[in-house]
Structure 1
């Protein structure tokens, strides 16, 4: 979720490709980008799109066949094993999602991380779908409603891991106020589907202002990500780069961490469950202490989901030892998943410090913070705790000093 966009002058379509510029050449992505694969993508295409900002690749199994799915899956696998020209200490996990109809379940393998489910009208349909296959019940399901007038809409949102909204459900973003409010209250991510943005981007009349206007609504309503649909014969690469630049600009222009936190806390239904109460406290601590990042430990991704919904004012470095969990965390806003490569030690305190050091070293290497910055650590207080039940404010220098006293180095890459 972090990558380098080097602003190099070259020939490009005037006013579109890299027309949107920002000061920094390193962008910390706050919104996720999901791309629905529409044509043939080789490993080099996947690698380029991943480096540009696409972190979720989707295959619509209601249109594509199994052969196409296997080709895309193999391309993703090969892209992740490609040698880099410039050695990097961090490899972005790539999420693979599939779209299917509730009326036509299709067998999936373990590489699928997320299921996007269409044509769901009742909660009973969803229950039967989950019962039909054990893998369906273990995978995150994003609900794609056909209408916002469904009687079981709120129940379906609660039963799934998130929702996808598109322009066919409402002409204006104010039409999404009710589902957006519910998703914020129950910590569920929301993606917005741009149906024809790729085609529009390559029209002769397209310009940068058009991209900025579209992105402004997405950022203002705090969506977790953008869902793009590929177009035959048109590469989405240039569009993704412009979108990421636009998001970066708009985030800095309209960012109001204090206002976001106050609005969320004011609308919060009581009583608040302990995990979310702790996450709200950690988010407030980061806001008041001007912390540059929140480091959270997670096994299933639930802690990352909760803190991402607590109006965090800074990036979230989510440390996990599970690759499937790291890929799944691309569903959540401002979350940077970090796959911890070492096995657990016999001493919980040692393991705790190792993981904090891993996240801290990543932040230093990528420029998210420096040695004088403050961090918020959201971690379990003991090995047996089932959720992150405490947090503390520390400085990067304190973390480094604590680890160096052991005579070891942070480096685990």
Structure 2
């Protein structure tokens, strides 16, 4: 499985934590973090380890990943998809994606956008499956359907925004890029816009 086919890809290496828990651990962590970021991997598989300083090693790996991501050549990564360019150039806090099959969220995840992807779907099985993709936060939408598709889109975007506000993913007034089908039943997302999140969620 690889990113060419938009599949989830995880970094796994035997004795990983033991290898970096030595005198040159910092250099080793940065090297591994660079390999993970360049490979657009979705996560790291943590296996059983006898290393005593396990928690600190996990924190160091996380910090190294953030450091490498901030310093990578962004132009190289953002040329393939217009919405990713929009999210990057506009300094968007999140991408809100309305999806039926999960395919659009899967493709976006493979391209490693610079902000979280809030994927709103009315299918529970799709929401469960999307959990394995990097940066994707799947939300299962169960509310009553609106009369027309435009209103339904607004309701789903608001649903995703309210969740993000409640969980502290972003604050009120955040800039969001919204990707959605232009009409109900469309086979793909062909419409996007930049919107501002509400200042507070409805309680």
Q: Same fold (TM over 0.5)?
A: yes
- Structure 2 distance, partners of 1:233, 1:310, is 34
Q: Which range moves more in the overlay, 234-243 or 328-337?
A: 234-243
Please give the alpha-carbon distance, in whole angstroms, between the structure 2 residues aligned to 1:233 and 1:215: 19
1:387 to 182, 188, 192: 188
How many Å apart are 1:239 and its aligned residue? 3.9
Establish whether residue 376 from structure 1 lines up as the match of residue 165 from structure 2. Answer: no
SS at match of 2:46: strand
Instruction: From the superposition, tell whether residues 234 and 299 of structure 1 become closer, same or farther in structure 2 (CA, over 3 Å).
Output: farther
- Cα shift at 1:381: 1.7
Is residue 317–residue 336 contact of structure 1 (8 Å, CA) maintained in 2? yes
Q: For residue 187 of structure 1, what is the aligned residue in structure 2? A: 6
Distance 1:206 1:362, change over 3 A: farther
Match of 2:143 among 331, 343, 350: 343
Per the alignment, residue 77 of structure 2 pairs with: 260
Out of 316, 319, 331, which is 2:117 matched to? 316
CA distance in 1, matches of 2:107, 2:202: 28
Superposed displacement of residue 260, structure 1: 1.2
- CA distance in structure 2 between the partners assigned to 1:321 and 1:187 by the alignment: 22
For the 8 Å contact 1:191–1:225, the answer to whether it is kept is yes
Residue 149 of structure 1: aligned partner:
none
Q: Secondary structure at the match of 2:49?
A: coil
* 8 A Cα contact 1:194 1:226, kept in partner: no
Separation (CA, whole Å) in 2 of partners of 1:393 and 1:217? 33
Answer whether contact 1:354 1:410 (CA < 8 A) is retained. Answer: no
Give the corresponding residue for 1:145. none
What is the alpha-carbon distance in structure 2 between the residues aligned to residue 248 and residue 233 of structure 1? Answer: 23
Gaps of 5+ in 1: 1-161, 164-182, 266-279
Calculate the TM-score normalised by the size of structure 2: 0.80
Equivalent in 65, 69, 72 of residue 251 of structure 1: 69
For 1:63-212, list aligned pairs within 5 A. 162-163=1-2, 183-184=3-4, 186-201=5-20, 203=21, 205=23, 207-212=25-30
Alignment of 1:260-409 (within 5 A): 260-262=77-79, 265=80, 280-340=81-141, 342-347=142-147, 348-396=149-197, 400=198
Query: Can you give the 5+ residue segments of structure 2 that lack an aligned partner in the other structure?
Result: none
Deviations 1:115-135 (A, max 9, x none): xxxxxxxxxxxxxxxxxxxxx
Superposition RMSD in Å: 3.0
Shift of 1:376: 0.9
- Cα displacement (A) at 1:295: 0.5
Provide Cα deviations, 1:350-386, integer angstroms capped at 9, x if missing partner.
4322221122123334444333332110111222222
Q: Which protein, 1 or 2, shows the higher relative CO under an 8 Å CA cutoff with sep ≥ 6?
A: 2
Deviations 1:164-199 (A, max 9, x none): xxxxxxxxxxxxxxxxxxx34x43333222221133
The TM-score normalised by the length of structure 1 is: 0.43
